[in-house]
Amino acid sequence: MSIAEHIVNERFYGAKSQTITDVDIVLEKEYGEHTLVLARVNDVLYQLFVDSEGRDRLADHVDEIREGLGVWHSEAPFPEGPYKPLRGEQSNTSLVAGDVMVKYFRKIEPGLNPDVELLGRIPDCPHVAPVLGYASTELDGEEHTLVMTQQFIPGTDGWKHALTTVTGSFAEDARMLGEATASVHMALAREFGTSSVPAETVADGLTARLDGLIKQAPELAEYREAAAAVYRELRGEIDLQRIHGDLHLGQTLRTADRYILIDFEGEPARPLAERKLPDSPLRDVAGMLRSIDYAAHFDGTHEQWGAEATIAFLEGYGTMELDQQLLDVYILDKALYEVAYEINNRPDWVHIPLAAVKQVLG
């Protein structure tokens, strides 16, 4: 079978621009004509269920593999089928069986996946879907999370819902989103604790992140000195805690009466160990505000819609807790990340985050 030939066509494979030079099968288990494998592709480990030609067929055969290569960690049994794939999933494969969602992680890394770790500790928060169980396997002495199950909560994708309101108002929804984000942050702070670091440490980290982005998108070099100067203006101690890490409208579900935050893995491009580090909750706030700005410019320009939604989100989150200077720093960091992404993937969209960069830099 040729995994290298077919994995490049999968949505969860994030290195499509790189030439595959090595594929190493780390674990495998045969299921008739198919094989469940953990394959290291160019040093990145992926979970695949392949046919004889190397094509991935996982979503069609969950009834066969269930918890797969892992050990099941839960008193609740793995759900029985039938399984219905969820549309729109990119980095993982998710399916629904009755009132349970099953998520197979595709990129496998050492350590308990933050999706399991964080949600497993805040089951009483009304703005998350509780974890029911997970499966993991041990490689080189470390646990690797393979699959998790959660309560399935029906809802509308937050991004899609926002776009339906751009000719009206999203303010009430944005306020609800702010309240939901604050609720999750408070729950995480209670469960995992808080800490603080000198502002200089945060500034150095953000500057290093920008230097990494410049390697991906050299066009950002012209903003390097101005951005670094903004970062250096931070003073005092910066409060840190566990956060979502990749919050935007598409990471939310609108139910009949509230918003649910989903996918707590953090930015998929960052190493798992880095995603598990405490960070400022304002990174999540900035992520949501940038997402609102994207929605405002997705199909035309709806400045008033975006401005009202931004104010409402901050009101819902609780403006008394906000440090505007620090929030602007994280908005700048996120917008620079977006510019690099758009340059390499959707150059016609680069004007959206670039406007935010210029606004913060003045």
pLDDT digits (tens, 9 = 90+) for 262-307: 999 998 878 888 999 999 999 999 999 999 999 999 988 899 999 9
The pair of structure tokens assigned to 15 is: 């290195």
What does the pLDDT look like over 175-222, one tens digit per residue?
A: 999 999 999 999 999 999 999 999 999 999 999 999 999 999 999 999
84 — pLDDT class (breaks 50, 70, 90): very high
- What confidence score (pLDDT) does residue 345 get? 84
Domain boundary assignment for the chain: 3-151, 156-361
Number of Cβ within 10 Å of residue 130's Cβ equals 14
Q: Is the pLDDT of residue 83 over 60?
A: yes
What does the pLDDT look like over 116-128, one tens digit per residue?
A: 999 999 999 999 9
Q: Average pLDDT over the chain, rounded to whole?
A: 93
- What confidence score (pLDDT) does residue 257 get? 96
The neighbouring-strand residues paired with 56 are: 50
32 — pLDDT class (breaks 50, 70, 90): confident
Rounded mean pLDDT of 324-341?
97
Higher pLDDT, 318 or 13: 318
Give the C-alpha separation, 280 to 115, whole Å.
18
Rounded mean pLDDT of 28-33?
88
At what angle are helices 324-345 and 224-232 packed, to 10 degrees? 160
- What confidence score (pLDDT) does residue 154 get? 95
Give the C-alpha separation, 171 to 332, whole Å.
23
Per mean pLDDT, which of 89-93, 135-139, 194-198 is the most reliable?
194-198
- What confidence score (pLDDT) does residue 167 get? 92
Burial class of residue 297, CB neighbours in 10 A (0-12, 13-18, 19+): middle
Of the candidates 305, 271, 276, 291, which has an alpha carbon nearest to the alpha carbon of residue 334?
291
Share of residues in the chain with pLDDT > 90 (%)? 77
At what angle are helices 282-298 and 324-345 packed, to 10 degrees? 50
**What's the one-letter identity of residue 278?**
P
Q: Is the pLDDT of residue 111 over 60?
A: yes
Q: Is the pLDDT of residue 102 over 90?
A: yes
**This prediction's pTM:** 0.93
- What confidence score (pLDDT) does residue 89 get? 66
- The CATH number fitting domain 156-361, selected from 3.30.70.360, 3.90.1200.10, 3.10.105.10, 3.30.1960.10: 3.90.1200.10
Higher pLDDT, 342 or 87: 342
45 — pLDDT class (breaks 50, 70, 90): very high
End-to-end CA distance of the chain: 55
At 186, phi and psi to the nearest 5? Answer: -65, -40
4 — pLDDT class (breaks 50, 70, 90): confident
- What confidence score (pLDDT) does residue 237 get? 97
